[in-house]
Copies of this chain bind each other. A is one copy, B any other.
Amino acid sequence: MNKEPLRQEGKLMWQLIERLWPICRSITGNGLRETLNIIKEHIPVEISEVPSGTKVLDWTVPREWNINDAYILDESGKKIIDFRENNLHVVGYSVPVNEWLELDELQKHLHSLEKQPDAIPYVTSYYREYWGFCLSHKLRASLKPGKYFVHIDSAHTNGSLTYGEYIIKGASEKEIFLSAYVCHPSMASNELSGPVVLTMLAKWLASEKRKYTYRIVFIPETIGSLTYLSKHYKELKEKVIAGFNISCVGDNNNYSYVQSRYGNTFADKMIRRVLDSDYPGYKKFSFLERGSDERQYCSPGIDLPLVVVCRTKYEEYPEYHTSLDNLSYICEEGLTGALELLRKVILLIEEGRYYRIKTLGEPQLGKRNLYPVLSTKTSVASVKRMMNFIAYADGRNDIEEISKITGIPTEEILSYAELLKKEGLLEETGIIQVE
C-alpha cells in the first residue's frame, strides 16, 4: 500500500477530530446534530430525526437535551467549575438548576475519581431526572465549607434523536454493516476515533464500485442503535452478511476485537483471518466483555453477524470515560492504522469470492486455447493447477479455502478465475452464504 495517501487521510482525520472535539454531544441534541452535519461535509450522510417519545423496541426516545452554559461559583463569586472549559464538567442530561447550596448539599451532586485525582469523570443520567457536576478529585478535595452557586442552563424538550446513515450501493444487495457512535462529549478514542475513521473509510468505499452494499451508520450509542434497529432490523437480518462496530481506534496499541455472541459468524471469520495473518498478538474478547452497540446488534432475535473492532478496547484503559481520553491520548498513526486494518478486512470480503464451474465434467480447454497443443508428460502437468482450482470451484469454498486445499497461491487462483470467467466457464456464485 502506498503510504502517502494514507498520510493525507491521517491529516484529514486529525483535522476533523480537532473540529469535532469541542462539541458537547449527547444522545440527542444540537451537539449530535452539529457533529453529523460536519461529517456530512465529507460524505453524503442522510440525517434522520426521530421524535422524542417514539417507541423503539423496548425503549422510548427520550426528550431532547440541550445545554447552553453551566458553572459553579464559590461564595466569592469565583467560577470554580466552568462547562465552557470542559464539557465533561456537567453530568449528561442534567436538568436546569440555579441556586445557592451549602457544600454538604453540593457534594451529593459532585462526581470525581479518588484514584485518578486529575481526571474529570464522564457521567450521565439519561433516564432519571438529576443534575450534577464532574470534577477532578484534586479540585473537589480543595473545596471549603460554605455556600456555592450552581447554574445549569439546560433544557429538555420534545425534540428528536438524530442519526446519520449512508448507504453505498454495490453490485449485490447483500450488505456489510458499519457502525460508529457519536454521543460522547469531548473524548477522543472512545468517541471521535470511531466516526472519524468510519468517515474516511466511507469515502474510500464510495471511491470505487464495490461488490457488496455498505450500510454505514453514525448513531448515539444504545438508544441510537435501538432506534435504528427498530426501523430496520428485518432488513438487516436479511441483508447483512458481516458487520463491524468501530470503537476506540485512536491510540497506537495493537488491535483487539470483540466476538459475536457465539464467535462463529462470517464477520468473526474474516476479521480473524486478517488479524491472524497481519497483527500477531492482537486480543480477542468474548462477547461477555462487550459494551457498545454490539449489545443490541447481536442480541437474541436480532443476531447480526457483527464484531467490534478496537485498538485498546473500551474499559481496558485507565483514561477511558474520563477527561484523560483526550487528543494527547490518540494519534494520527493510530487512526490511519485502524483505517488500514478495516480496509484489509473489507478487501478480504470483497475479494473473497465463491466460484462455481459452469460445465458438468471438466471444461474443454483445448478449443479455447487454454490447453497446450501437444499432450506430453510435461504439458499435462502444466494445466493441472488450473484444473485443481476448477475441481474445488464448486461454490462451497472461497479462494482462501481453495488455496488451502490445493496449495495454489490465491493470486494464481485469481488469475485462473479471470481467465475462466472471460471464457464463460466460471461464475461467481455472487453472494457469500453466511454460515
Question: Are B288's CB and A388's CB within 8 A?
Answer: yes
Q: Please, which residues of chain B bring their CB within 8 A of the CB of A261?
A: 391-392, 394
A299 engages B373 (CB within 8 Å) = no
Say if the beta carbon of A100 comes within 8 Å of chain B: no
Task: Please tell me if A21 contacts chain B, counting CB pairs below 8 Å.
Answer: no
| Contact status A58-B361, CB under 8 Å | yes
Q: In the complex, which residues of chain B have a beta carbon less than 8 angstroms from the beta carbon of A111?
A: 374, 376
Contacting pair B59 A364 (CB below 8 A)? yes
Flag whether A125 is at the interface (Cβ < 8 A).
yes
| Docked complex Cα distance between A229 and B359 (Å) | 12
- Contact B296 A229, beta carbon cutoff 8 Å: no
Contact (Cβ within 8 A) A375 B229: no
52-90 of chain A: CB within 8 A of chain B = 57-60
Report the nearest B residue to A357, measured CB to CB.
B300
* Among candidates B57, B356, B380, residue contacting A361 with C-beta atoms closer than 8 Å: B57
B362 touches A394 (CB 8 A): no
Q: Could you list 12 examples of A-B contacts with CB < 8 Å?
A: A58-B359, A121-B376, A124-B374, A226-B361, A233-B360, A261-B394, A295-B362, A295-B387, A295-B391, A299-B390, A301-B360, A302-B361
Q: Give chain A interface residues in 226-256, CB to chain B under 8 Å.
A: 226, 229-230, 233
A326 within 8 A of B: no
Least Cβ–Cβ distance between A167 and chain B, in angstroms: 21
Q: Does A422 contact B (CB under 8 A)?
A: no
The size bracket of the interface on A is 35 or more
Would you give the shortest CB distance from A393 to chain B, in whole angstroms?
A: 7
By a CB distance below 8 angstroms, the chain B residues around A359 are: 57-58, 299
> Which residues in chain A, 286-301, are within 8 Å of chain B measured between CB atoms?
287-288, 290-291, 295-296, 298-301
This chain's copy number in the assembly: 3
* 9 nearest A-B residue pairs (beta carbon): A300-B394, A127-B366, A58-B359, A57-B361, A296-B361, A59-B364, A58-B363, A124-B375, A301-B360
Q: In the complex, what's the smallest C-beta–C-beta distance from A95 to chain B, in angstroms?
A: 13
Kindly state whether residue A3 has any CB partner on chain B within 8 Å: no
Given contacts A58-B363, A406-B288, contact A395 B300 (CB under 8 A): yes
Instruction: Say yes or no: is A367 at the interface (Cβ < 8 Å to chain B).
Output: yes
Contacts of A367 in B (CB 8 A): 59-60, 127
Asked whether B373 lies within 8 Å of A130 as measured between CB atoms, the reply is yes
Beta-carbon nearest neighbor of A125 in chain B:
B374
Contact status of A299 and B391, CB under 8 A, knowing A58-B361, A233-B360, A367-B127: yes
Interface residues of A in 112-152 (CB under 8 A from B): 113, 121, 123-128, 130, 132
| A405 nearest in chain B by CB position | B288
Q: Are A373 and B406 in contact, CB atoms less than 8 angstroms apart? A: no
Complex interface: chain B residues within 8 A of A127 (CB): 364, 366-367, 371
Q: How far is the CA of A130 from the CA of B375 in the complex (A)?
A: 12
Residues of B near A298 (CB, < 8 A) are 391
Alpha-carbon distance between A233 and B124 when the two chains are bound, in angstroms: 61
Q: Does A321 contact B (CB under 8 A)?
A: yes
How far is it, in angstroms, between the C-alpha of A233 and the C-alpha of B359 when the chains are bound?
13
Instruction: Please provide the chain A residues from 372 to 387 with a CB less than 8 Å away from any CB of chain B in the complex.
Output: 373-377, 380, 387
Q: A364 contacts B58, CB within 8 Å?
A: yes
On whether the beta carbons of B375 and A125 are closer than 8 Å, the reply is: yes
**Which residue of chain B is the closest to A381 with respect to CB atoms?**
B315
- What residues of chain B lie closer than 8 Å to A356, measured between beta carbons? 300
B300/A393 in contact, CB under 8 A: yes
In whole angstroms, what is the CA distance A175 to B363 when docked? 27
* A377–B296 CB distance below 8 A: no
Q: Is the CB of B377 within 8 A of A121?
A: yes
How far, in whole Å, are A361 and B374 apart by their CA atoms in the complex? Answer: 64
Contact A123 B374 (CB under 8 A): yes
Add 11 more A-B contacts to A58-B361, A58-B364 (CB < 8 A): A58-B362, A58-B425, A121-B377, A125-B375, A126-B366, A225-B361, A261-B394, A288-B406, A295-B391, A299-B391, A302-B360
